[in-house]
Chain A
């Protein structure tokens, strides 16, 4: 019984908050263009679905491609950097510079330079998401047990054998942790870039829809779009957490 209550606790809390929200909005007669109640948001979600769904597909498309680009290019860059000290010394400062420069500040430039809106958004989102992958994967590639490194040396392993059979598997927990961060960041990057780009005709995503809804004081639609963005973020995280658990199920709980 206790366990049932414990499992249901977050849902009950959420439901309670929604009910309180709806009651508060009704009691204070708050107009929907200031704060819509959850029922109005739900109605907007259903009514505006034909507009919301393509925007959702667009944003998810940009987010997922930026994530995949971060995951692959980030690992590649980490491999290059850990292969030689010189490479790391030369490249890492620029990776840091790209990371610390706010994406809002470079997004306008990228949007001007790159003709294709979708591609420019993808680049912005990638710039936000790739750094945790690179830095985590680099740490991971260097984290192989020194005794195992000795053992590989003792048995005369080639650098490629050592990379594939020792360094890459040793890096997996670190890399996966980087991916979990990158998942959320690629969504944030995609949304921020879209805000900067504004609504670009019919091919635009949820953030552009939020902007447009804001101009029109259509708060229920804005909230509906916001809700969808949150759901995408949560799903992304849950999927990556599941992947991590799946890959690392046989590893020691610590180390």
Chain B
């Protein structure tokens, strides 16, 4: 990674120690360029991937270190959790409306953005349905639409498809890539799947546990758009081997 004079996010010497003394993250330094990037955080469970995401979102305070936004004052952030995290009492439309509602924007003024986000995840016909009527994959799509509707500069995703079946997951991966290319935002994607991270990202940060730290920072040079053919390519296989090896080294260090 060449040094970017004005990165989008500049994480400097970030440490997080829990009140009980557990050290979640030690000395994380990471810069994301202002050009849209698809970065995956890969690592064993307990390596602090989710904590790093929550820190970037401002949901936790760092113990030491800083998270800076050199190119603009803290830009709009979207967040997708491992669970769909929908409000069961609200329709799909009302769920996607939530960020606008909190910001005080009327339903009428946000209608177009909401419907466009729902079209983006192929759920424009489900606007009036309730979460209980939807399958797990559809709920996750709603969750993605809710995060994307306000057009965030940064989309944080915390193992969003981990609970879904393989076929649904592959489909959602392709949809996500299409959205990422269309919307031009930076995605930070937490996953424990090497294959998923290689398929999606142009940069993979491998983390080690105990305490959580960065073990490797790899670029995946394959061009976009990527499709199923990419999964069969030598480039894909090489990258998977590389990331797996980095992950293995990282886990070996820890034990």
User: Which residues of the partner chain A approach B130 to less than 8 Å between Cβ atoms?
Assistant: 250-251
- Nearest Cβ on chain A to B20's Cβ, whole angstroms: 18
**Are the CB atoms of B77 and A252 closer together than 8 Å?**
no
- Nearest Cβ on chain B to A183's Cβ, whole angstroms: 22
**Are the CB atoms of B83 and A251 closer together than 8 Å?**
no
User: Which residues of the partner chain B approach A153 to less than 8 Å between Cβ atoms?
Assistant: 59
**Which of A112-120, A154-162, A184-192, A237-245 makes up part of the contact surface?**
A154-162
User: Which residues of the partner chain A approach B99 to less than 8 Å between Cβ atoms?
Assistant: 155
- Nearest Cβ on chain A to B15's Cβ, whole angstroms: 21
Distance in angstroms between the alpha carbons of A150 and B79 in the assembled complex = 9
Number of interface residues of A (CB under 8 A): 21
Distance in angstroms between the alpha carbons of A172 and B89 in the assembled complex = 10
**Are the CB atoms of A169 and B89 closer together than 8 Å?**
yes
User: Which residues of the partner chain A approach B85 to less than 8 Å between Cβ atoms?
Assistant: 145, 147-148, 151
Interface assignment of A152: CB less than 8 Å from any CB of chain B: yes
User: Which residues of the partner chain B approach A255 to less than 8 Å between Cβ atoms?
Assistant: 88
User: Which residues of the partner chain B approach A14 to less than 8 Å between Cβ atoms?
Assistant: none
Main secondary structure of the interface of A (DSSP, over half): helix
Q: Which of B81, B88, B101 has the most CB of A within 10 A?
A: B88
**Are the CB atoms of A252 and B79 closer together than 8 Å?**
no
- Nearest Cβ on chain B to A94's Cβ, whole angstroms: 31
The 0/1 profile, CB within 8 Å of B marked 1, for residues 76-112 of chain A is 0000000000000000000000000000000000000
Interface assignment of B102: CB less than 8 Å from any CB of chain A: yes
Q: Which of B98-141 contact A (CB under 8 A)?
A: 98-99, 101-103, 130-132
Interface assignment of B57: CB less than 8 Å from any CB of chain A: yes
User: Which residues of the partner chain A approach B81 to less than 8 Å between Cβ atoms?
Assistant: 147, 150-151
**Are the CB atoms of A252 and B131 closer together than 8 Å?**
yes
Supposing A250-B89, A251-B89 touch, asked if A152 and B59 sit within 8 A by C-beta, the answer is: no
- Nearest Cβ on chain A to B131's Cβ, whole angstroms: 7
Interface assignment of B87: CB less than 8 Å from any CB of chain A: yes
**Are the CB atoms of A155 and B103 closer together than 8 Å?**
yes
Q: Which of A152, A155, A156 has the most CB of B within 10 A?
A: A155
User: Which residues of the partner chain A approach B70 to less than 8 Å between Cβ atoms?
Assistant: none
- Nearest Cβ on chain B to A176's Cβ, whole angstroms: 12
User: Which residues of the partner chain B approach A166 to less than 8 Å between Cβ atoms?
Assistant: 87
Residue in A closest to B99 when the chains form the complex, CB atoms: A155
Distance in angstroms between the alpha carbons of A156 and B99 in the assembled complex = 9
Interface assignment of A253: CB less than 8 Å from any CB of chain B: yes
Interface assignment of A11: CB less than 8 Å from any CB of chain B: no
Q: Write the residues of chain B forming the contact surface with A, with a CB cutoff of 8 angstroms.
A: 54, 57-59, 77, 79, 81, 83, 85, 87-90, 98-99, 101-103, 130-132
Q: Write the residues of chain A forming the contact surface with B, with a CB cutoff of 8 angstroms.
A: 145, 147-148, 150-157, 161, 165-166, 169, 172, 250-253, 255
- Given A151-B81, A151-B98, A154-B58, 6 more contacts at CB 8 Å? A150-B79, A153-B59, A154-B57, A156-B103, A251-B88, A252-B88
